[in-house]
Structure 1
Amino acid sequence: MNRRLRLIALLMVVMAAAGAAWVFAATRSASPATSALLEIRWHGNGIILQGAVTDAATQQVLVEGATARLGGEANQVVDWLDIAPAALPVPDAASLASLIRLGQEGWHLQRHATDAWLAVQSPNDDRSMQARQLLQRAFGPGVTIRLIPLS
């Protein structure tokens, strides 16, 4: 029985990696005009961080938030964050890390130049309202934050 559980766990890890690779391929083929500058996806028992941040400290805070959300499973965090000084700033990276920890399976965040949207199961529930507040703190008052229902 123990061998069976190990096989199942291995298959789950392989499936999660395949899913992450598929998402990477799908998002990399998107038109640059519609691509988000920063994107976070919660899916397949993992979290994908993609885009650019201004510095290594911000990158580390986000990766640590994702790792904490996954119970310390760092191998389930896919980090495609580039460090680019010209990237949009994240004035409060700790709030964005808190949002990552709060997030649920299926959530999807995209940050653009002047706005950000977060797809959630129920835009009006308490968790989503808390997420909106964290996003506003993370990105600052000049960024419009929208919560949209998952499709």
Structure 2
Amino acid sequence: MKKNRPRIIALLMLVLAAAAGIAWAFAAARPALPANGAALEIRWHGNGIILQGAVRDAATQHALVEGATARLGGEADQVVDWLDIAPEALPVADAAALASLIRVGQEGWHLQRRAASGWLAVHSPDDARSAQAGELLQRAFGPDVTIRLVPLP
């Protein structure tokens, strides 16, 4: 047994080095954040809502989580909150409007916000609910952000 100990130790060191290399490769492959802040993404699916990205403050985060919880009839356990609070995050001009958009949203909708633009994938970009969502989205992000409603794939 003592003769194999150096081999076992060397094998364990090799496995640890390989694991560290794989972890580094996955971290390096992660999509880069926009230069002037982190993106924001909201997805309505599977009787749940996913909030992902970054917001500038806890009040905005809280408003979005509350909006999602209200949309789901109080089912807080169906809200996935992966929002980071980061001062460099993209601004939300009106968190209440974004929370209202979350409440209006439907299964399958998908929102992405980037530095100067945002899009919301909806079932029918021309229906009344989508028009209301577009107005809420513009209020939420402000007049300087280009907003597009696109059809779901």
Moved over 3 A (4+): none
Q: CA RMSD in A?
A: 1.4
Distance between the aligned counterparts of 2:76 and 2:121, measured in 1? Answer: 24
Query: Once the 2 structures are TM-superposed, how far is the Cα of residue 30 of structure 1 from its aligned partner?
Result: 5.7
Q: Deviations over 1:36-56 (max 9, x none)?
A: 700000000000000000000
- In structure 1, the partner of 2:117 is 115
Query: Once the 2 structures are TM-superposed, how far is the Cα of residue 31 of structure 1 from its aligned partner?
Result: 2.8
Answer whether contact 2:33 2:39 (CA < 8 A) is retained.
no
Q: Partner of 1:116: helix, strand, or coil?
A: strand
Q: Deviations over 1:10-45 (max 9, x none)?
A: xxxxxxxxxxxxxxxxxxx763268x7000000000
Q: Partner of 1:104: helix, strand, or coil?
A: coil
- In structure 1, the partner of 2:96 is 94
- In structure 2, the partner of 1:82 is 84
2:70 maps to 1:68: yes
TM-score normalised according to structure 1 size: 0.78
Q: Partner of 2:68: helix, strand, or coil?
A: helix
Query: Given the superposition, is the C-alpha separation of residues 98 and 83 from structure 1 closer, same or farther in structure 2, using an over 3 Å criterion?
Result: same
Distance between the aligned counterparts of 1:33 and 1:83, measured in 2? Answer: 14
2:129 maps to 1:131: no
Distance between the aligned counterparts of 2:44 and 2:96, measured in 1? Answer: 18
2:55 maps to 1:31: no
Q: Partner of 2:54: helix, strand, or coil?
A: strand
Distance between the aligned counterparts of 1:118 and 1:50, measured in 2? Answer: 15
- In structure 2, the partner of 1:14 is none
One-letter amino acid matched to 1:58: T
Q: Deviations over 1:78-136 (max 9, x none)?
A: 00000001111101000000000000000000000000000000000000000000000
Q: Partner of 1:110: helix, strand, or coil?
A: strand
Q: How many residues were matched structurally?
A: 122
Q: Partner of 2:65: helix, strand, or coil?
A: helix
Answer whether contact 2:49 2:68 (CA < 8 A) is retained.
yes
- Rg larger for: 2
Unaligned runs of 5+ in 2: 1-28
One-letter amino acid matched to 1:148: V
